[in-house]
Structure 1
Amino acid sequence: MTDFPTSLTSPGRCQGCKSNPELDLDFAFAYQPIVDLRTRSIFAHEALVRGVNGEGALSVLNQVNDQNRYRFDQLCRTRAISTAARLGMTELLSINFLPNAVYRPELCIRTTLEAALENNFPIDRLIFETVESEHIDNNRHLTNILREYREFGFKTAIDDFGAGYSGLTLLADFQPDLLKLDMALIRDIHRDRVRQAIVRAVVTMCKELGVTVIAEGIEHPEERDFLADCGINLMQGYWFAKPAFKALAQVGPEVWQKA
């Protein structure tokens, strides 16, 4: 049974709940596995927003605006959890959140906790990824959100590291459980000495900080093998499995074979 913080059972709501209208768009989820090379198993599944008929993420995200951002972010969390529970997910579930949609994290997280309780999905199996490529109006606000989430027992992750606005400054202010290297750093890394040097440096830095690195966007076994030699064991990408629409993707035995 999921523990539900009693301090959040009062009927209070933040201003975002009061001022935002009901959501005027619909969407679904696809789930893509994050694998662990050490155990040759699935470590987590990332919930990826899709149109109701499986259309790409942009078909939904292009409809998100200042008026519906908060409701969209809230519904993303609850729907990702309820769908994962219905599919029988036993691994960790990683959910992206929009920092600019969070007003007061201690209140905005309420619906997420309620969804976890209702679906009997353990809080310690939830990962919240901040989209590092999204412009953040207030970096202090973001680090406060991440700290609050950690206090609740969630795991935290910085997504798309190396591609966005915050970069090393965000990492200096807050050390998450997980850091996801952007696929632009990963592409053809086995042939690119510059990217190799950058990734090795990030892995060394994260090891010292106690942060686990995930490499995303793996499409070739040579990329997988180079990153494994760098000490990265958690990976995600088409080489292992494409996102499965309203389902949990399977990882076949052939993905572990050496190139």
Structure 2
Amino acid sequence: MTVEGVTESGSDSQTDRSHPQPPTRHGINTYEPDVPVAEAPEGEAWGRKLIGLLTASFGIAGLLMIPSGQFTDVESVLVALASASTVPVALAWILGRWPSRRMANVYVLWADIGILFVLLAHESPFVAMPGCAMFAIVALFAIVGTSPRVLTAHLILAALVLVYLAVMAARSGMEPWSVASRVVTIGSLFITPFALRPYIRFLRQRAQVGLRDSLTGLWNRRGLFDMVDQLNYARAGTKVESRAIGVVVVDIDRFKAVNDRYGHPTGDAVLVEVADRLQQAASTGSGDGRNDPTTDSVVSRLGGDEFVCVHIGTRAEVDDAEQRLRAALEESFSGPPFTTSVGSAGDTTIRGDATGTLVRKLIALADIELYRNKQEHSDGDPRRSHDPLLVRDRIESLVSDGGPTVVFQPICETATTAVVGYEALSRFPFGHGSPLMWFKDATAAGVGPQLELAAIDAALSAMHVLPETAFVSLNASASTIRSTDLLSRLRPHLHSRVLYLEITEHERVDDYRAIARSVEGLRAAGVRISIDDVGAGFSGLRQVVELKPDTLKIDYTLVHGIDTDPTRRAATAALAAFAREVGATLIMEGVETEEELRVAVELDVDMVQGFYTGRPVTT
């Protein structure tokens, strides 16, 4: 896969590549580091704050000892400096992020040195002995933040310091029985971490059972996103150029036929073999991929016969991972004959710590590619195509229930990023495929216009809460514009709001004369016409020339990375010049970064749409 070749969009048409519905699937992972539960990006904020407060309390305790007269003037200054050092460390915990394993080890060493210094500075070893309890507090962090080796070394040091203070206290004339009592009391605190660690491990194991697919032993859907977050988090501190994330979705073709012909036990064996093949291909470490902390891949079972593989690393590593996966699937399998379909998507950056949203988008994009590949290979084979009757029933049932839900993504003026309009995007029942698949299935089953009209009706009904000064862009295919009376639906709203009709790109226009006549009728009534995804699919220059749209929308594949790609910039500049020449408004969709917005300003693009300037909102 070329990572920049397939990326997520910051905006989209009615088929909505930018915000696909997250799939309801399950999954596995070849990366299972010994990362504590508290280190998970979604749940570590409270832990960081707690440790920061405990660190600050250590400093406060040291400062409170100074007025007691236990230290000399020089020792008081040193204790004050040691106590003051807790302030930046505490702030780093509270305001920063959970440290890497190496930094956690450094934190334990720093805490041990500080505690040891303060304890040895006391005039009375007997009075200093209770301070060894601070070693036990640090040990609680070591349980979840460091390795067993570091925890053991820390507690050995604590025990040695306690014994040393006890010996010195006895030699100074303190009652031996009192000294022994303190040793036993404080020493018992050092045993507690060894008792807690097995219990924490047991809780983790129980939690992982709920994250695994019972058949293949792979991660389920929840486990997939948890492990991708941990993998990204673990790699966040490494110096990696051009960090990338890649997703490969795998589907077993006609898996139901395998079950029907050979039986479910054979079908289960096929699933296990595919899972093992993907596991071995995805792992970059020397182990089996399940517990090797050096691997950068997460492999999951997403549903009955679908799998997803996520890889994080450099662009070259992501490409190599996909090639290994594809090669593994091309090798012959034991058991009944079957084939697989593959789709992939990727992004060149990872925004922030949490990757769940990004992974969901990439999975949906990979699903689209997989679906297209499956359709291409199923041409002429009616056994592999969707049953039109079942699709029709599904679409009609959805329409009768009110149709798809609608969200509105802001369209902004480029120079000021002020919102001037909204595009209506369709949302479908969770877990039943991307919007593109819904519309493609509906078109293939002969009910495409019916579904599109339901989506338009839902948008017209929901848009009343939007500012009246903002235009609303609605999506429709050429066949729907040509074969239905759209104007009767739009006319009641034209007196109060500017409406754009955005012609989607997933359908080839065969009869330009017929569609041009319909478009002119809509334009005469006040509806403005927009061509979606110019530069991709069927949205070529002929469609622009024949239909003379008021607005052109540049496809997100030309926008993504435009700030670093001279070719994309040149293509967009040419389209901008063309739009000015014909008097059309130009919109760049898929603007996701400040740099991409800067290029839009430099090229004098009229409007922008994308995650950077505004995400879809519900009404």
What TM-score range do you get, normalising by the shorter chain? Answer: 0.7 to 0.9
Matched position secondary structure for 1:136: coil
- How far is the alpha carbon of 1:113 from its aligned partner? 2.5
Pick from 440, 455, 473 the counterpart of residue 94 of structure 1. 473
Q: Which shows bigger deviation, 220-229 or 49-58?
A: 49-58
Contact 2:404/2:454 (8 A) holds in 1: no
Q: Distance in 2 between matches of 1:191 and 1:172?
A: 30
Q: Distance in 1 between matches of 2:482 and 2:417?
A: 39
Matched position secondary structure for 1:24: helix
Match of 1:45 in 2: 422
Q: Which shows bigger deviation, 73-82 or 45-54?
A: 45-54
- How far is the alpha carbon of 1:53 from its aligned partner? 5.5
Q: Distance in 1 between matches of 2:595 and 2:610?
A: 13
Q: Distance in 2 between matches of 1:57 and 1:124?
A: 26
Q: Does 1:201 align with 2:579?
A: no
Q: Does 1:184 align with 2:563?
A: no
Alignment CA distance shift 1:239-1:233 (3 Å): same
Q: Distance in 2 between matches of 1:111 and 1:210?
A: 28
1:1-259 alignment, distance < 5 Å: 23-25=396-398, 26-52=403-429, 56-58=434-436, 60-65=438-443, 66-85=445-464, 87-90=465-468, 91-104=470-483, 107-114=485-492, 116=493, 122=495, 124-244=497-617, 246-247=618-619
- How far is the alpha carbon of 1:178 from its aligned partner? 0.6
Contact 1:163/1:182 (8 A) holds in 2: yes
- Name structure 2 gaps, 5 residues minimum: 1-391
Matched position secondary structure for 1:30: strand
- How far is the alpha carbon of 1:183 from its aligned partner? 0.4
Contact 2:532/2:539 (8 A) holds in 1: no
Q: Distance in 1 between matches of 2:507 and 2:496?
A: 25
- How far is the alpha carbon of 1:174 from its aligned partner? 2.6
Q: Distance in 1 between matches of 2:584 and 2:415?
A: 17
Name the amino acid aligned to 2:495: P
- Give the structure-2-normalised TM-score: 0.33
Q: Distance in 1 between matches of 2:583 and 2:567?
A: 24
Q: Distance in 1 between matches of 2:615 and 2:431?
A: 13
Contact 2:482/2:515 (8 A) holds in 1: no
Matched length:
220
- Give the structure-1-normalised TM-score: 0.76
Matched position secondary structure for 1:135: coil
- How far is the alpha carbon of 1:112 from its aligned partner? 2.9
Matched position secondary structure for 2:396: coil
Match of 2:298 in 1: none
Contact 1:216/1:237 (8 A) holds in 2: yes
- How far is the alpha carbon of 1:161 from its aligned partner? 0.2
Contact 1:124/1:154 (8 A) holds in 2: no
Alignment CA distance shift 1:123-1:96 (3 Å): farther
Superposition RMSD in Å: 2.5
Q: Distance in 1 between matches of 2:606 and 2:481?
A: 32
Structure whose residues are more often strand by fraction: 1
Alignment CA distance shift 1:47-1:150 (3 Å): same
CA deviations 1:65-117 (Å, max 9, x no partner) are 343222222222222111011x2442110000121123456x34213324x2x
Match of 1:14 in 2: none
Contact 1:51/1:59 (8 A) holds in 2: no
Name the amino acid aligned to 2:516: T
Q: Distance in 1 between matches of 2:441 and 2:505?
A: 20
Q: What is the percent sequence identity of the aligned residues?
A: 25
- How far is the alpha carbon of 1:52 from its aligned partner? 4.7
Q: Distance in 2 between matches of 1:41 and 1:188?
A: 23
CA deviations 1:195-225 (Å, max 9, x no partner) are 1111111111111110111000001110110
- Name structure 1 gaps, 5 residues minimum: 1-19, 248-259
Alignment CA distance shift 1:122-1:35 (3 Å): same
